[in-house]
Amino acid sequence: MSLRKRLFSLVRRLAGGKRPGYPVTRFAMYTALAEICRPYVPEVRRCLVISGSGRLARALGIPGGALHEAAYPEVDIRALPFADGEFDAVVSDQVLEHVAAPPSLVVREAGRVVRPGGLIVHTTCFVNPRHDAPADYWRFSPESLEILVEAAGDRVVRSGSWGNRYVLAGDALGLRYLPVNTARTWSLTHRLATLHQEKWPIVTWVAAIRNGPGI
């Protein structure tokens, strides 16, 4: 085992154990989005999840049987092979920064396949090391996500961010990947995951409603 992996294992044990949970950088974001989207989730019968975004969809409370996976490279988010309004929701979790296209095009295309009144959720990153999967093109503030959604003709419900300088400082040890121990609110992981410093956003998000007739 490499020294980095040993250090990560040590920090993980000290931080709160091995109890499964969302990573530090996604805990507050998933929690906030679950609350924001709660009124809309009961209407979701078919949800398009983009490239491995099923974990976020389930965190929102969308049943597994409603999820329809569209993963790159088999499915290209720049030109989705689905009809207009085919889904009740679309969810993309840390996807937008990896798409080789103008973000406005991507957000518009993702919204196109959602019915009027349907739910649109995008999460992405702001302060993050370069992570090619397969490439890394963009960074987004909450305000920029709002502009993209509104330019697509849809209505923003809420946008937000989460981050703090301590998680950024510990990134070399893999601190952002530690699972939050929800059973120990006093644990280091829980404290770090719930501490938000507005000037140090690591992740950002937007929840929106698809506009259309009567919306």
CATH number at residue 63: 3.40.50.150
Domain that holds residue 98: 23-163+199-209
Q: 69-81 pLDDT, tens per residue?
A: 999 999 999 999 9
Q: How many C-beta atoms lie closer than 10 Å to residue 186's C-beta?
A: 8
Cα gap 104→131, rounded to integer Å: 21
pTM for the whole structure: 0.90
Average pLDDT for the chain: 91
Output the six-digit token pair for 120.
């649109």
Distance from C-alpha of 160 to C-alpha of 56, rounded to nearest angstrom? 15
Q: Cα-atom radius of gyration of the chain, to the nearest Å?
A: 17
- Tell me whether residue 168 is in a domain: no
Instruction: Please indicate, yes or no, if residue 114 is contained in any of the structural domains.
Output: yes
Q: Which residue is it, tokens 């059973």?
A: 183
What's the number of domains the chain is made of? 1
Residue-wise pLDDT for 45-76, tens only, equals: 999 999 999 999 999 999 999 999 999 999 99
